[in-house]
Amino acid sequence: MSAQIVWLRRDLRLADQAALAAAVAAGGPVIPVYILDDETPRHRRMGAASRWWLHHSLAALDAMLREAGSRLILRRGRCEDVLAALASETGAGAIHALHHYEPWWRNAERAVARTQPLRLYHGNYLAPPGSVLTGSGGLFKIFTPFWRALNAGMPSPLPLPPPARILAPRSWPDSDELDGWELLPSKPDWAAGFAAEWQPGETGALQRLAAFVGCADAYDHARNFPSEAGSSRLSPHLHFGEISPAQVWHGLTAEGRFPEIFLKELGWRDYAQNVILQFPDYGVHPAKPAFDGFPWRSGAQARSDLAAWQQGRTGYPIVDAGMRQLWQTGWMHNRVRMIAASFLVKHLLIGWHEGEQWFWDTLVDADYGSNATNWQWVAGSGVDANMFVRIMAPLSQSEKFSAGDYIRRWVPELACLDDPFVHDPDEFGRRPETYPQKLIGHRQARERALQAWKRS
């Protein structure tokens, strides 16, 4: 039997991995390969926080493959060139991979298929993007009807078990050393706090799911409160494919459970992929023409305000807590993401694409479809979006959702303040000297945003 190559990208698992299962079923030796390709994505090369995760995820995957009698081959370069060379070296009969829907991966798949026998499978989403259709046979642009149609087709098939044994070739092709890729930061090591928060890899993903199953019924309430442990924290594991959405769905709906609010969040992930399938440049260009000439602020003061937002020094405690949590852990609570994004776009009048790029570099779960869809939703420029004139009030949001303990954890200058002072120290005359003044007052920011909208 000829060798079978498994081309891995954001699908770094053994269980419910259709490409790996097909390669094993072919009966010949299997060569799993991950290619670090920074050329194909160009300006969408993986961000710094994602590279930290990737390093540890690849190490975990290699360890699991070795337990099954195999190993992971690492190569660097353009995917079509590396795969062509690897197929020639090994005499591979086919290349197996899961479909990916980012525009650069779709281009890469077409390039590989022009010269190699490429076999593509589904498995990174609940339903293959492009398969959930309207009554007229088109693709959905609005989430709610998309969710109804997607949910009507659930549950997805039961997840595939991991292969017990993977046949190895008589001799392995050359492989790069993972440490040689220098994916981990060192000078300085700004990711020092990541390890306390995360366990990348398939084992960590399954443990995270098991821990969440018992509290998923409370998600509808707890997800809104940053001081509570209500989030699943599965997003980076799903992004890197260390667990499949089918595994999550079936794990959460076993024994008659149906935590609909969380499952809708899983459905939003599918929806975002359907959006970028229709609008490949969604991470760059607004979907609504009204935003083409929007008067976003620019110049030295805007750049200074952007830096203050990135550093968590805006003078708005809930915003600053979120931005510092992001820097220290590579992740931010979902409600705080909305508050921080709205603050950048509407309070500071800085274009949503600036925030999208910052999240792309700093989130361990940075996903092109979800990141772009979420930012355009907040800005009001998306195909399905909040209206621009709906401006979140970060100070009242902080108090409404009891974010005091969250702020005290991530903004140590305010750790000595009790509620309600911690939500708005300026208002109560309790702002420590070490904590910055507000960049702009809420009312002033709101009026400026509404005037900008009128001029657009």
CA–CA separation, 109 and 101 (whole Å): 10
Statement to judge: residues 105 and 138 lie in one domain: no
Q: What is the mean pLDDT of residues 187-196?
A: 93
pTM score? 0.97
Give yes or no: residues 273 and 321 share one domain: no
Whether 431 and 331 share a structural domain: yes
Domain boundary among 278, 302, 337: 278
Which pLDDT tens digit goes with each residue over 90-109? 999 999 999 999 999 999 99
Q: Which of 375, 377, 410, 453 is catalytic?
A: 375
8 A C-beta contact, residue 32 and residue 72 = yes
Catalytic residue among 39, 107, 268, 399: 268
Catalytic residue among 52, 249, 296, 360: 296
**CATH number of the domain within which 260 lies:** 1.25.40.80
Overall average pLDDT of the 338-342 stretch: 98
pLDDT of residue 1: 86
Expressed as residue numbers, the domain containing 50 is 1-123
Over the stretch 426-440, which tens digit does the pLDDT of each residue have? 999 999 999 999 999
Under DSSP, is residue 350 helix (H, G, I), strand (E, B) or coil?
coil
Number of structural domains the chain divides into: 3
- Specify whether 374 is catalytic: no
Section 319-338 average pLDDT: 97
Residue 12 predicted with pLDDT over 90: yes
Rounded Cα distance between 25 and 230, Å, is: 40
Q: Which helix (H) or strand (E) holds 377?
A: helix 368-379
Inside any domain, residue 99: yes
For the cut 90, the answer to whether the pLDDT of residue 255 exceeds it is: no
Distance CA 255, CA 152 (A): 19
Is residue 394 predicted with pLDDT exceeding 90? yes
The DSSP code for 73 is E
Of the listed 181, 265, 386, 399, which one is catalytic? 265
* 53-63 mean pLDDT: 98
The verdict on whether 296 is a catalytic residue reads: yes
Whether 117 and 152 share a structural domain: no
Q: Which of 107, 224, 334, 386 is catalytic?
A: 334
Average pLDDT over residues 239-264: 96
Q: Is 375 a catalytic residue?
A: yes
Per the document, the length of the chain is: 456
Chain-centre distance of CA 122, in angstroms?
A: 19
Which pLDDT does position 214 carry in this prediction?
87
Structural element, H or E, at residue 75: strand 73-76
Looking at the fold, whether 118 and 129 belong to one and the same domain comes out as no
For residue 435, the surrounding DSSP H or E stretch is none
Is residue 334 flagged as an active site residue?
A: yes
Instruction: Please compute the mean of the pLDDT values over residues 191-200 and round it to a whole number.
Output: 96
Residue 106: give its domain's CATH number. 3.40.50.620
Query: Distance between CA atoms of 357 and 363, rounded to whole angstroms?
Result: 10
- Say what percent of the chain tops pLDDT 90: 97
pLDDT in tens, 133-190: 999 999 999 999 999 999 999 998 999 999 999 999 999 999 999 999 999 999 899 9
Mean pLDDT score of the chain: 97
CATH number of domain containing 327 = 1.10.579.10
Strands of 230-386, DSSP E: none
Question: Quick one: tokens of 398?
Answer: 């902080």
Q: Which of the residues 52, 352, 377, 453 is marked catalytic?
A: 352
